[in-house]
Amino acid sequence: MVCATHDEIERVTEAIRMRRLNKGELGKGVRLTRQVSLNWTTAQKSDVKGFRAGQILGFHRAVKGIAKNEALEVVRVEGERIIVRAASGGEPTITGKHAKSFDVLEQHAIEIPPATGCC
């Protein structure tokens, strides 16, 4: 099956999953959270007004106080600053000048079907 967009893929996958659940072909799965890129441009990431609490900033380049490959949750926006929460509990500040250092992600729940016997 081929789908043109990620949204279409999600809708088709969910329809298939629901049909198989209703037919009793799937057992109870495990709910996980995955992080999905919003594919923002540098200009979009430079404008702090577009950010909201709960988004995730995934850093592909280290900046002061934040390591490469670290993911931090947006807590709030204050003026021209984005306040994020690190795994350590600290709340570093990000500004538009850091736009080339991170990707903006959202968390989406996904259900993973139970493992089945092989072959």
Residue 115 pLDDT: 63
Place 119 in a pLDDT band, splitting at 50, 70 and 90.
very low
Spatial neighbors of 69 by CB under 8 A, at least 6 apart, are 58, 59, 60
38 pLDDT higher than 90: yes
Distance CA 60, CA 5 (A): 25
**Closest among 98, 86, 83, 5 to 46, alpha carbons compared:** 98
| Residue with more model confidence, 51 or 18 | 51
Please report, rounded to a whole number, the percentage of residues in the chain having pLDDT higher than 70.
96
Say what the pTM is: 0.75
Q: What distances in angstroms separate CA 4 from CA 8, 22, 33, one per listed residue?
A: 7, 27, 23
Please report, rounded to a whole number, the percentage of residues in the chain having pLDDT higher than 90.
60
Residue 94 pLDDT: 96
16-25 pLDDT tens trace: 888 988 888 8
Q: Which domains does the chain have, with CATH numbers?
A: 6-112 (2.30.30.30)
Average pLDDT over residues 12-39: 87
74-109 pLDDT tens trace: 999 999 999 999 988 999 999 999 999 999 999 988
